Amino acid sequence: MSSFPVSITKYNSPFESVKQAVELCNGLQQMPRNAKVFIKPNIVFWTKATEFPKWGVITTSRVIEDIVHLLREYGISDITIGEGVVTDSKDTETPAHAFQTLGYEKLRQRYGIDYVNVMERPFKKVELDEDITLKFSEDLLNSDFVVDLPAMKSHNQTVVSLGLKNLKGTIDVNSRKKCHSPDPEKDLDFYVSKLADKLPPILTVIDGIYTLERGPAFDGKMRRSNLLVASPDILSADMAGAKLLGHEPADVPHLAWAASNSNRPTDLSDVEIRGESLQENISYHAYDFEYTVDENRELPKPLAKQGIEGLFYRKFDNTMCTYCSGLNGLILTAIRFAWTGEPWDNVEVLTGKSMEPSQGMNATILLGQCMYKKNKDHPNINKLIAVKGCPPDPKEVVDALHEAGIQVDPSLFEQIETLPGFFLERYKDKPEFEEAFFRVE
């Protein structure tokens, strides 16, 4: 049986650590001479209002520069960094601010590379399966070689977010929403498993200098892990990355799908680990948020411990797309601050595309256009409170919660861009969390 090489290395020094990781797995062997190379970092989202805690959330600029430097050593001059930051479709300033702050302009000046917001560039339909098409960035499709640079994290919808999941940032908005399908046979994991199928050859380098537990966002737990995982085979890199995060690949649905599609085992028996020991570097990263469910409430455990009753904030599923999930943490934070000790009046909040109203609720908030269209005429609803937007308008969310008797503070929603900054306090004055990794000097 042929084996797929995966390198696991410690991050010890600029450039040399990344070079070692790539060359140890022969990561550039499939790259043509004079190739047109597309680099896909993982930014997820950005805010101009605060230097939010980004460790483990987004790819370090350190690793990106090291990859660019290495490609230039190999004689590659046509290099483009491309990412689709999650923002309002008309917002071009936020992605530009992200690229500038992370030093991509300095990389352009220093190495002659280009960088693009893929949301401002053309997309092209790609058929991934029978009746399954998504629109991918043409810059990606027209390249000869891809360097996929995900941050290493567990993920509350897909268990882990590594090389395959990172490619979701190269498809257009409608395709991203399509991935969060309510079809149980062709769900988010099904789509993610196929994202690499029609792309040019890919080198995956998983940036685990910082890792994230309960990702993908800033409300997860960030760690300094000093790991790099690299492979010319994206599935092998992801399976090794999942193991390092403490999750068996067979228990990660999109990896199990991808392995099945390729007739590959999920036990890494056809993977050759080079460099550091996989077993000795496993560190369990929980991916899910614990919920309390009883006759008085359904809530994330911290809210239940606070004593909140009379609210059934149903546990999100993988049909809730990025544009709704961006509000989810803020809403729950606002609810925590709004609690005064008096039970609310059996209010339920539904999200995503699959949930249905329960009997016996006095009010039902349908959060987002998908929920509204699915359940607006549902017979179990006693009082319908709808937030119809896609994505939901924060002001309409406040109005809906107020109508349900939950007096959240509107100023929290008016200052939504500053919310990540509150989480910065957890890491303040901890020397292992260095801003320098996200700068180009």
Secondary structure, 3-state, 230-255? EECCHHHHHHHHHHHCCCCHHHCHHH
Model confidence at 325, pLDDT cuts 50, 70, 90, reads confident
Instruction: Assess whether 246 and 301 both reside in one domain.
Output: no
Q: Read off the DSSP letter of residue 343.
A: P
Tell me whether residue 422 is in a domain. no
| 107-142 per-position pLDDT tens digit | 999 999 999 999 999 999 999 988 889 999 999 999
Query: Domain boundary at 287, 302, 332, which?
Result: 287
Residue 356 makes CB contacts below 8 A (sequence gap 6+) with 350, 374, 375, 378, 380
User: 331: which 2 tokens?
Assistant: 């809403």
- Residue 120 contacts by C-beta under 8 Å, 6 or more apart in sequence? 92
Residue among 381, 323, 383, 397 nearest 353 (CA): 323
Is 112 inside any structural domain? yes
251 and 150 assigned to the same domain: yes
Q: Residue 108 and residue 83: Cα distance in Å, rounded?
A: 15
Residue 219: the pLDDT is: 84
Mean per-residue pLDDT over the chain, rounded: 94
Which of the four pLDDT bands, split at 50, 70 and 90, describes residue 283? very high
Buried b (16+ CB within 10 A) or exposed e, 264-279: bebebeebebbbbebe
- Say what the pLDDT of residue 329 is: 85
For residues 279 and 318, state if they share a domain.
Answer: no
Does any domain span residue 254? yes
Residue 439 placed within a domain: no
Which residues have a Cβ under 8 Å from the Cβ of 354 and sit 6 or more positions away? 182, 317, 319
**Cis ω on the peptide bond leading into residue 249 (within 30° of 0)?**
no
Residue 421 lies in a domain: no
425 close to 354: Cβ distance less than 8 angstroms: no
**Do 168 and 296 have their domain in common?**
no
Number of domains in the chain: 2
Lowest mean pLDDT among 59-63, 134-138, 416-420: 416-420
Work out the burial of residue 392: count CB atoms within 10 Å of its CB; fewer than 13 is exposed, 13-18 middle, 19 or more buried.
buried
Secondary structure (3-state) at 88: coil
Do both 251 and 337 map to the same domain? no
> Quick one: 244 and 300 in the same domain?
no
**In the structure, what pLDDT confidence band is assigned to residue 191 with cuts at 50, 70 and 90?**
very high
- Given 245, 267, 287, the domain boundary residue is 287
Residue 238: pLDDT above 80? yes
Residues 132 and 232 in one domain: yes
Whether 275 and 326 map to the same domain: the answer is no
Residue 233, pLDDT > 80, answer: yes
Q: How far is CA 324 from the centre of its chain?
A: 13
Same structural domain for residues 90 and 145?
A: yes
Residues 124 and 202 in one domain: yes
Vertex 124, ends 119 and 129: CA angle to 5°? 120
CATH number, domain of 110, equals 3.40.50.11440
Provide mean pLDDT across the span 380-393. Answer: 94
β-pair type (221-231, 4-10): antiparallel
187 by DSSP, 3-state: which?
coil
Residue 176 lies in a domain: yes
Cα dist from 154 to 84, 136, 149, whole Å: 20, 24, 15
The three-state secondary structure class of 291 is strand
- The boundaries of the domain holding residue 157 are 4-287
**Does residue 423 sit within a domain?**
no
Q: Do 346 and 361 touch, CB atoms closer than 8 A?
A: yes
pTM of the model: 0.94
Q: 144-148, 327-331, 339-343: lowest mean pLDDT where?
A: 327-331
Assigned domain for 381 exists: yes
13 shares its domain with 82: yes
User: For tokens 């934070």, what's the residue?
Assistant: 333
pLDDT band of residue 49 (cuts 50, 70, 90) is: confident
Residues 282 and 344 in one domain: no
Q: Is 208 exposed, middle or buried (0-12, 13-18, 19+ CB in 10 A)?
A: buried
